[in-house]
Amino acid sequence: MLLAFHKPFDVLSQFTREHPTHHTLAEFGFPRDVYPIGRLDRDSEGLLLLSDEAHWNDLLLNPRHGHRRTYHAQVDGRITDTALNQLRAGLDLGDFKTRRCEAALLPDDPGHPPRDPPIRFRKTVPTSWIELTLTEGKNRQVRRMTAAVGFPTLRLIRVAIGALTLQRLGLTPGKWREITAEESRLLTASERGSA
């Protein structure tokens, strides 16, 4: 079984609480014995896959497969071409160097559902939306990358894993469904195509 979930803001990518006020996956009625494949931080949103089949973990998370993950990041300030080029080239973040990635300015607000609570708003500082596609997923990597080029992330949404997108899946925050056989084939085909 392979499930797709649109993880809301302020939900941990795990089933057990670390603190009584934490929200976890246990609140969303998932079938028994599924577990998250990878994770999204508590303050990140978007597509999270869950399964009871171990092979998905290696297929989707092992960097040797080069599986693509696409994010929309709302960053503080009007991002520059120089910063986008730095993101694309890979960055030395001290404890590791990021792989090359795709990075592009989104011309408009991508129209994601409002976040609760909303991001902080400052009249004098604009924000930009960028799209990043990575083939690795270190802890808080996107946030660290945008901060390293001078544009801290205010909101982060994973919009796709391989060829599966939130839009294609029709998922809104807090909703989940089983992935069809056709969608599963698309997911593995995108992995084979990137190897």
Residue 41 is among the residues annotated as catalytic for this protein = yes
Terminal Cα-to-Cα distance of the chain (whole angstroms): 24
Q: Compute the chain's Rg from CA coordinates.
A: 17
**Alpha-helix residue ranges (DSSP H) falling in 9-132:** 55-61, 81-89
- The answer to whether the beta carbons of residues 162 and 154 sit under 8 Å apart is no
Of 10, 41, 43, 52, the catalytic one is 41
Spatial separation of the C-alpha atoms in residues 106 and 128, rounded to whole Å: 8
Backbone angles phi, psi at 5, to 5 degrees: -135, 135
Spatial separation of the C-alpha atoms in residues 130 and 151, rounded to whole Å: 11
| Catalytic (active-site) positions | 41
